[in-house]
Structure formats: C-alpha cells, structure tokens
Amino acid sequence: GAVVSQHPSWVICKSGTSVKIECRSLDFQATTMFWYRQFPKQSLMLMATSNEGSKATYEQGVEKDKFLINHASLTLSTLTVTSAHPEDSSFYICSAAPGANRRSTQYFGPGTRLTVL
C-alpha cells in the first residue's frame, strides 16, 4: 500500500514552454501533497504544500506564478512549470500524506527529471 506515482518520469522541453507533472496517490486519499525539487548532489527542497480544494502554500523564494500547483482531488496534484528555462532543469519529487495529522508519514513518488534545453 501507500503508492504514489508521478508522470512523466522524465521530460525534455524547449525553453519558454510549459510542462505539467502529475502526482497521484494510487491506494489512499491524500489530503495533503508536497512538491520538492532536488538539484544534483543536493538535498530535497520543499517548494510548496498543496491541500485538496485550496490554494497551495509556497516556500519562501518559490515563484507561485511560475510553479502552478493544482490539487483538484484527493488523489491528484499537478505541478506546472510555466515558461521553463534551463535553470528550472531539476528532479521534481512529490509526496503525499494520507491524513492531515502532522504525524502522517509522507510517501514519495519516483520523481520526474525535467531538462529544459
């Protein structure tokens, strides 16, 4: 149980285009989903927290107009990187928590490798 999927697993796009990444909780309902970014040999950095049916909460320094997050249902959250540039190239990972309780374990997706040319 507690499987989280991401699609696509990798994507290559041209500079200036937008890319959408999906995160799904397959066998549980996720009240809260999280989006992280990991640069090579660095830590996972939380970008934003999304709660179903409400606006996402972005971490300091993360542009909400560039990284659009939609949490339309209890099993799906999407991250859209708008007008992508080469510096947005990174590994994007989502996680989902089964409940709103802060002790709920986060289960991570396999990640999406974004390369912007």
User: Which residues would be at the binding site for another protein (CB under 8 A)?
Assistant: 4, 6, 9, 32, 34, 41-46, 49, 91, 93-95, 97, 102-111, 113
**Closest distance of CB 43 from another protein, Å:** 5
The sign one gets for the Cα dihedral 96, 99, 100, 103 is: negative
At residue 110, the 3 state secondary structure works out as coil
**Closest distance of CB 32 from another protein, Å:** 6
**Closest to another protein by CB, 81 or 111:** 111
What are the two backbone dihedrals, phi and then psi, of residue 23, each rounded to the nearest 5 degrees?
A: -130, 125
**Closest distance of CB 29 from another protein, Å:** 15
DSSP labels, 8-27: -SEEEE-TT--EEEEEEESS
**Closest to another protein by CB, 40 or 86:** 40
**Closest to another protein by CB, 81 or 97:** 97
Structure tokens, 46: 């939380």
**Closest to another protein by CB, 70 or 106:** 106
Q: Please tell me the distance from the alpha carbon of residue 9 to that of residue 51, in angstroms, as a whole number.
A: 23
